[in-house]
Amino acid sequence: IAKLSASEERVVVSYDDLPPVLVQAVLSAEDRKFFDHNGVDPVGIARAVVKDVLGGSQSQQGGSTITQQYVKLAYLENKRSLVRKVQESVLALKLERSMPKEKILENYLNKAFYGRSATGIEAAARVYFDKPAADLSASEAAFLVGLLRNPARAEPTEHQETAVNVRNSVLAAMVEEGYLPQSTYDTESKLLVVTTDPSA
């Protein structure tokens, strides 16, 4: 049932219903200045341009804010180019003038793809952990946020070591931002990423 609901029906979770650990995880890993910037991080864009120029088409662009990532998901084709990056930035600036930050973050988490045919955080929580997003633990939230960049490479049934590393990198970022105590990281980082069986 969870698999079917993930692929056929996307449940939208409002910002007020997102668990704090999930918001903390995505801010720590994806955009630590989200509530302070105007939709664009100039330093991040400059870094991405340099990577494109020096690394060619194989380089991984970085520096996108959550607003830019949402714009890319909702309005633009998923291809890397400097023109696309400029469009992304312009639209992000416009969006921030017309939509509250909380709504942008809500929309992003509800539209993002998490692997296993799961689009949206509610579907992801149910497919991976058989629970609603509101009940996610810090470790589970960190893992799902870690999937945002590349879900396939961190599928725990096939790439357990990568899944653990991805989760732990988000947990570490949460510690750096003061959202989690070091003791929680020390405990959680030693555990495997245990999810439901995708073939069940």
- pLDDT per residue over 90-119, tens digit each? 999 999 999 999 999 999 999 999 999 999
Mean pLDDT of 124-132: 97
Q: Over the stretch 44-90, which tens digit does the pLDDT of each residue have? A: 667 656 765 665 433 334 578 999 999 999 887 666 667 777 888 89
- The whole-chain average pLDDT of the chain stands at 87
Please give the pLDDT value at position 86. 83
DSSP states of 73-140: HHHS-S---HHHHHHHHHHHHHHHHHS-HHHHHHHHHHH-B-STT-BSHHHHHHHHHSS-GGG--HHH
Note if the pTM is more than 0.95. no
Residue 153 pLDDT = 95
Residue pair 110/13 in contact (Cβ under 8 Å)? The answer is yes
Q: How many CB atoms lie within 10 A of CB 182?
A: 9
State pLDDT tens for residues 158-186: 999 999 999 999 999 999 999 999 999 99
